[in-house]
Structure 1
C-alpha cells in the first residue's frame, strides 16, 4: 500500500494532461510558456514548503498509503509530485475557465451588431 498516494497523484497528472491535450488549454496551447509557468510555480511552492519545514510549521505525517521515501527532512517524495499536480490543475482550470468566459462574452454580442460594438463588448 506504500505507493497508493503516489500512484493517485500520477493518475491525476495524467488526467490533467489528457484534458489539456483534448482542449489545447496549457501545454498543447503553448508548450514553452507552459513549461516556464510550471517550473516557476513548482520552484516557488517547493521553496514555500522548505521555508515552512525550516520554521517547523510543516511536518510530515505518517501514512500507510505513502512511500515513506524522504527527499529531505520532512519532505516526502510525494510532495513535489503533488505540487506539480497542483500547478497543472490550477493552470488547466484557469485556462479552461478563461476560454469559457471569452466564448460566453462572444455569444452575448448580438449577431446584427456592428464591428465596433463587438470590439467594445
Structure 2
C-alpha cells in the first residue's frame, strides 16, 4: 500500500489552510460558513462522481502512488480528500481575488476623490 498521493493531498490541504490563516480568507474569516460551503461542495462533487461511476464514465486508474483503498467500487479514498482540497483551493482563490479587486477599487476611489478635492478638474 502506497500513501504518497494521499499524503500529498493532506500536505496540499495544510498549505492552503496556512494561506487561509495568514490572510483570513475562508475558514479563518467565518468557520461556520466555510464548513457549510466545503461540505456542500464535497457532497455535490461526490454525488457527481458516484453518478459518473454508475454510468461507467469515471473509472479508477491504477496508480503506483495511490493507496488502493476503496470506499466504493471505483471510488478510492483519495477522491473525497481531493475534493476537499479542490473546494478549499477554489474558495481561497475566490476570496483572495475578491479581496484584491476590492482593494484596487478602493485605491482607485481614493485617487479619484483626491484629484477632485485638490482642484484637479478641468
Partner of 1:90 in structure 2? Answer: 90
**Structure 1 match to 2:5:** 5
TM-score for both structures, normalised by structure 2: 0.90
Shift of 1:15: 0.3
Per-residue CA deviations over 1:71-92 (Å, capped at 9, x if unaligned) read 0000000000000000000000
* Match of residue 62 from structure 1: 62
Larger radius of gyration: 2
Aligned 1:15-54 pairs, distance under 5 A: 15-54=15-54
Q: 1:17 deviation in Å?
A: 0.3
What displacement does 1:14 show? 0.1
Counterpart in 2 of 1:117?
A: none
Tell me the distance in 2 between the aligned counterparts of 1:38 and 1:63. Answer: 27
Alpha-carbon displacement from aligned partner over 1:25-63 (angstroms, at most 9, x marks no partner): 000000111010000000000000000000000000001
Which residue does the alignment assign to 1:77?
Answer: 77
Aligned residue for 2:61, secondary structure, equals: coil
Compute the displacement of 1:93 (Å). 0.2
TM-score normalised by L of structure 1: 0.91
For structure 2, the residue ranges without an aligned partner over 5 or more in a row are 118-122
Determine helix, strand or coil for the equivalent of 1:71. Answer: strand
How many residues are matched? 114
Which runs of 5 or more structure 1 residues have no equivalent in the other structure? 115-121
